[in-house]
């Protein structure tokens, strides 16, 4: 059994989709980041940086409960545990790993900054908006070129690299990031294909009505972006 500590953000969607794809039994433990539930000591004991998602595998290594935090690490753990969405040969495995690292190091951080300045920042900061929008456009171009060469990010097979990246390309993310997907036809083709997968649809639907993008309340902003997250716990 997987205990899934979750809220429906792009990083949260990754693990929800993955659990549906690999068909592991799981229990959902919502962590409402708008209300600051990520700062509870019980959750920090699982996720030291108080970020969702996190999991506890009650049947982990040596049959003991095992916690995993950070979405990329969770995808790798679940892929290794089940042998799914993770190639067996070294070359193919590192094709997947490179695009997974691209998501973790580029797509998530840069799209996150773009989304913050476009949709959450209480001040209008033109330089930041322009900078992170330009970086996001460049990343889309890298993805578009790659997906013009292969059906999926790591080649001809759907993998955890696609699971990790797709939630950042959802329509509501495109709108917040000010991206016209029509300018990136290969990304559009890829996203449309992935959106048809039943496991993806189920994963994206988990708590879908509980997370609204943009215009948070003062308390929600403080819990997500403000001083609350920097307090020593």
Full pLDDT tens readout for the chain, 233 residues: 999 999 999 999 999 999 999 999 999 999 999 899 999 999 999 999 999 999 999 999 999 999 999 999 999 999 999 999 999 999 999 999 999 999 999 999 999 999 999 988 999 999 999 999 999 999 999 999 999 999 999 999 999 999 999 999 999 999 999 999 999 999 999 999 999 999 999 999 998 877 666 666 777 777 777 666 656 55
State whether residue 57 is helix, strand or coil: strand
Q: Distance between CA 132 and CA 120 in Å, rounded?
A: 14
Q: For 228, which DSSP code?
A: G
Order of strands, edge to edge, in the sheet holding 2-6? 26-30, 2-6, 54-57, 66-69
Q: Where are the domains of the chain?
A: 2-84+214-230, 90-202
Can you give the pTM of this predicted structure? 0.93
Please name the fold of domain 2-84+214-230: Glutaredoxin (3.40.30)
- Is the distance from CB of 54 to CB of 74 less than 8 angstroms? yes
Q: Is the dihedral of CA 115, 119, 121, 126 positive or negative?
A: positive
Q: Distance between CA 172 and CA 83 in Å, rounded?
A: 32
Domain 90-202 sits in CATH at: 1.20.1050.10
């Amino acid at each position: 059994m997987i205990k899934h500590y979750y809220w429906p953000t792009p990083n949260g969607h990754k693990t929800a989709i993955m659990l549906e794809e690999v068909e592991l039994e799981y229990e959902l433990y919502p962590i409402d980041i708008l209300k600051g539930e990520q700062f509870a000591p019980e959750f920090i004991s699982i996720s030291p940086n108080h970020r969702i998602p996190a999991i506890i595998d009650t049947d982990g290594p040596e049959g003991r409960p095992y916690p995993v935090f950070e979405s990329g690490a969770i995808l790798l753990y679940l892929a290794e545990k089940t042998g799914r969405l993770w190639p067996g040969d070294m070359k193919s495995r590192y094709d997947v790993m490179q695009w997974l690292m691209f998501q973790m190091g580029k797509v998530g951080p840069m799209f996150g900054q773009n989304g913050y300045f476009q949709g959450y920042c209480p001040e209008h900061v033109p330089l930041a908006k322009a900078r992170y929008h330009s970086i996001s456009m460049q990343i889309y171009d890298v993805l578009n070129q790659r997906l013009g060469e292969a059906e999926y990010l790591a080649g001809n097979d759907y993998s955890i690299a696609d699971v990790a990246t797709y939630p950042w390309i959802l329509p509501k993310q495109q709108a917040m990031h000010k991206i016209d997907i029509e300018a990136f036809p290969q990304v559009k083709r890829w996203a449309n294909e992935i959106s048809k997968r039943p496991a993806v649809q189920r994963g994206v639907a988990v708590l879908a009505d509980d997370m609204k993008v943009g215009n948070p309340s003062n308390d929600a902003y403080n819990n997500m972006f403000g001083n609350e997250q920097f307090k020593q716990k």
